[in-house]
Structure 1
Amino acid sequence: MTYDHIVIRYGEMSTKGKNRLQFVRCLKRNIAKKLKHFPNLQIEALRDRMYIRLHHTPPQPVIEKLQEVFGIQSLSLALKTENDLQKIKEATLFFVKQFPYEGKTFKISARRADKQFPITTNELNYELGSYVLKNTTGLTVDVHHPDIDVRVEVRKEGTYITAYDVPGAGGLPVGTSGKAMLMLSGGIDSPVAGYLAMKRGLQIEAVHFFSPPFTSERAKQKVIDLAQRLTEFGGTIRLHIVPFTELQQAIYKQVPENYSLIATRRAMLRITDEIRKKENGLAIVTGESLGQVASQTLESMVVVNDVTTTPILRPLVSMDKTEIIAIAERIGTHHISIRPYEDCCTIFTPKAPKTKPKKEKIIQYEKFLPLDEMITETVARVETITLKPNEPLDELF
């Protein structure tokens, strides 16, 4: 006797009513892609939960992969047995004995989803609890705060026994909320914003602004690695690399220094919006946090936003830097982000950027440039790379 299933619980998806089936199907597809390197697994998706039959596959690597899939609230190793009372007793005892149980307390939490099962839930709790007590030593019952909570669920297709939950990534399955473009720099914030956007079911494509020779090929590799890491949570990601040198230099030559940062952000947003239109995206995601830097004051955001009517999503808007760093460390992007290579947001930084820019002034300054033509030319030269989970590109170095 051994663990033979993993039980997956949906969490927030359970509130989706008539649309729940669409969410379940999407989650099943995402899980199947995530687990494609485990050929023996069998996935069964039901309305209220999902089961993965292990077929002798070691469970721990599977669980670790599942913890990166959005839409899963929790998961548990499970043992499936027939709807026969004696076999359920034996399986329950086996489960308890997987724990160092001496001196511990336990509880049986039975659920009889199959109403054709011949005894009631309370009777099943009693029968299983009594059997465990008779066949163990040093174990006592505590129905309020047990050390071991053995859950027994009797369903039509069989009985599943679980004893502890592993937390999932939560959120909604990637692909259920449409597509958005992530403005991905080489810093700490934007990868976290992408992660949180995917957690709400968004499929993302990334847009990175590359300004050689002021930014190096190593900086480009850093962004590729960041996008590659994000594929582990959201599947395939297309990374659009924008050649930004000419336009960025023109802005810093023609626009007054204290407005150059705002002009740059407006140009970047316009370019991202053009790429969004080509890729049929619905929104733009940024890593901005309110008040963190000069371009992220509310006044600056209003002036930058003025170039588009596209929704701008800012998942980090209310977070402190320490909170953002904690998420970056947890999801495995922080060590990539802190590589010491500059990106286009850190070059040509003005000494005293405007924190309360005026829209009328920036519009006037932009008239010094053939901005529409330059943006069109820049978009035409965008390089697009397709990144897939577990299939990293050959590194540039």
Structure 2
Amino acid sequence: MSYKYLITVSGELPLKSWRSRPRFYRTLIKNISEVLREYGSTNYSFKIIDAKIFLESDVDVLEDLSKVFGVMKVGEVDLINFSDLRDLVSKVGEHATSLVTGKKFAVRVKRFGTHPFTSLDVAKELGAFLKPYSAGVDLENPEVEINIEIRGPIAYFYKRLITGVGGLPIGTEGRALSLFSGGIDSPVAAWLTAKRGVKIDFLHFFMGSPSATRLAFTVAKTLTYNWFYGHNPRFYLVDLTNALDYIRTDVKWEFRQVVLKTLMYHLASKIAAGSYDAVVTGESIGQTSSQTLANLSAAQAVSGLQLPVLRPIVGLDKEEIVSISKKIGTYETSVMVGEPCSIAPSRVRTKVTVEELRSEFMKLPEDLVIKTLKTLRVLEVRTSSLDDVVPDKTVVIEYIPEDAVVIDLRDLDAYLEWHYPGALHYENINLEGLRDKTLVLYCDRGNRSYIEALRLREKGFKAYSFIGGAESLKRRLT
């Protein structure tokens, strides 16, 4: 079976100079070809008709074509050859009669070229032809729209027409490295940047929670398979657990969150150097304490990050970001990622100076960056699986053994509000007295408990981190 599509490209493409325009069209056609190959198409062809692209294929890919960046609209069409207005109305009428039967309808006509009739003439004559079969004409709120595009002696009758995502074809505007937690904000930032033609690779920092990293990789796969046609992103995975330990012990409480951001910027600058044109972040002004203008400015200055930092959601409210997240299909997974555990959950400075931040940042060991970068792993999103991503699984546990001592690592207020039955608070225990016991640690979501379990393992304790943290424990008890 043959499917015919008429693709309206983003309005920017036809406006490009004659030198650069062919490159944009070639890239868009290459990306569309990837969609076709993914669906097993072996017989397809393209033709550029003025500013549009005509595609004939042996598979139905209408919905996926609408998700290719650079596509503004796409419709499945029938091609109708005609000799005059009467012939046109008669032939189009045969196609449209069953669509308008018993329904209110409107006729929309676009015409290109020289004809002895106008677009309005076609709409009037076709409307009069179809009206007896319908429930009447309604130009404001029709139940059915009959869309026709006339080009020379051919009319393109739209059987199905949907709106595309727009933007620029991926691969036309360089490469960027996206700081990617997998939470609600960073996937939206990555998607918006990719929509402008940028090839996005992901940089994810493992902060102690295997489940969070698995979820982040799942979100990266969602973006890749649903939107990033024409690109096989890399997923850079860096183990930050050792660095987090130093930040907690060496850096003043109120500076920890900003020092963490500064370290992430610095590591990103090292990884991106020479290979990327920009760094992308999911920061929105004032959304968190580390995302004030003062803190963002100081963090970038101290980090030494010289590449442009793209912040596509910087002016969006959380509700707007969530709306986009739902639209692109990442929200349901992203909402489970959560935030890193308790670097500094309160009393964070919102206006640090460059001098103050540099002083705190310099407290970290000189070789910390080198050691952290040695943990770097590079995966290809399209070809790697979750089993390739998850770090040491021997430390995490999904149940509470009968003889285990359960230890709550959250702050005392959270512990008093709710804790696992029989759990001890970490501030009130003598670890040496528990050396012969099985210890199960939990925090909010499993990040800090993973780090503490690793540290206790090094000291000879039989320690585990409960996967998912307190939230997961609560669900298991209900």
> Hey, what's the Cα distance between the residues in 1 that align with 2:247 and 2:298?
16
User: TM (normalized to structure 2)?
Assistant: 0.72
TM-fit CA distance, 1:295? 0.3
TM-fit CA distance, 1:110? 4.7
Matched, 1:224 2:217: yes
Match of 2:266 in 1: 270
Matched, 1:17 2:17: yes
SS at match of 2:201: strand
Matched, 1:73 2:68: no
Please identify the structure whose Cα radius of gyration is greater: 2
- RMSD over aligned Cα, in angstroms? 2.8
Describe how 1:141-160 pairs up with structure 2 within 5 A: 148-156=144-152, 158-160=154-156
Identify the match of residue 336 of structure 1 among 333, 336, 340: 333
Change (3 A) 1:362 1:44: same
Change (3 A) 1:303 1:124: same
> Hey, what's the Cα distance between the residues in 2 that align with 1:204 and 1:4?
31
Note the alpha carbon deviations across 1:96-128, whole angstroms, 9 max, x for none.
Answer: 2242433524335251x343x676656655654
TM-fit CA distance, 1:222? 0.8
Match of 2:249 in 1: 253
Q: Is the 8 A contact 1:175 1:202 kept in 2?
A: yes
More displaced, 124-133 or 176-185? 124-133
Match of 1:305 in 2: 300
TM-fit CA distance, 1:144? 7.4
Match of 1:33 in 2: 34
Describe how 1:181-220 pairs up with structure 2 within 5 A: 181-211=177-207, 215-220=208-213
Q: Is the 8 A contact 2:105 2:138 kept in 1?
A: yes
Match of 1:360 in 2: 355
TM-fit CA distance, 1:242? 0.7
SS at match of 2:314: coil
Matched, 1:393 2:385: yes
Amino acid of the residue matched to residue 9 of structure 2?
A: Y
User: TM (normalized to structure 1)?
Assistant: 0.85
SS at match of 1:42: strand
Q: Is the 8 A contact 2:32 2:68 kept in 1?
A: yes
Q: Is the 8 A contact 2:66 2:163 kept in 1?
A: yes
TM-fit CA distance, 1:350? 4.6
Change (3 A) 1:365 1:127: closer
More displaced, 265-274 or 143-152? 143-152
Select the structure with the greater relative contact order (CA < 8 A; seq sep ≥ 6): 1
Amino acid of the residue matched to residue 338 of structure 1?
A: V
Q: Is the 8 A contact 1:299 1:355 kept in 2?
A: yes
Note the alpha carbon deviations across 1:287-309, whole angstroms, 9 max, x for none.
Answer: 11111110001111111111222
SS at match of 1:97: helix
TM-fit CA distance, 1:207? 0.3
Note the alpha carbon deviations across 1:210-232, whole angstroms, 9 max, x for none.
Answer: 13xxx232222111101101102
Amino acid of the residue matched to residue 15 of structure 2?
A: T
Match of 2:175 in 1: 179
Q: Is the 8 A contact 1:76 1:162 kept in 2?
A: yes
More displaced, 163-172 or 287-296? 163-172
Amino acid of the residue matched to residue 81 of structure 1?
A: I
Q: Is the 8 A contact 2:32 2:65 kept in 1?
A: yes
Change (3 A) 1:176 1:297: same
Structure 2 residues without counterparts, runs of 5 or longer: 394-478
> Hey, what's the Cα distance between the residues in 1 that align with 2:364 and 2:384?
39
Q: Is the 8 A contact 1:173 1:199 kept in 2?
A: yes
> Hey, what's the Cα distance between the residues in 1 that align with 2:360 and 2:108?
72
Match of 1:291 in 2: 286
Amino acid of the residue matched to residue 77 of structure 1?
A: E
Match of 2:104 in 1: 104
TM-fit CA distance, 1:380? 3.4
> Hey, what's the Cα distance between the residues in 1 that align with 2:329 and 2:2?
30
Amino acid of the residue matched to residue 255 of structure 1?
A: V
Amino acid of the residue matched to residue 378 of structure 1?
A: T
TM-fit CA distance, 1:247? 1.9
Amino acid of the residue matched to residue 315 of structure 2?
A: S
SS at match of 1:99: helix
Match of 1:49 in 2: 52
> Hey, what's the Cα distance between the residues in 2 that align with 1:3 and 1:145?
33
Amino acid of the residue matched to residue 221 of structure 2?
A: Q
Q: Is the 8 A contact 1:21 1:47 kept in 2?
A: no
SS at match of 1:22: helix
Amino acid of the residue matched to residue 185 of structure 2?
A: D
> Hey, what's the Cα distance between the residues in 2 that align with 1:386 and 1:236?
7
Identify the match of residue 327 of structure 1 among 312, 324, 328: 324
TM-fit CA distance, 1:71? 1.2
Percentage identity across paired residues of the two chains: 26
> Hey, what's the Cα distance between the residues in 1 that align with 2:74 and 2:210?
41
Note the alpha carbon deviations across 1:262-286, whole angstroms, 9 max, x for none.
Answer: 11111110111111115x1111111
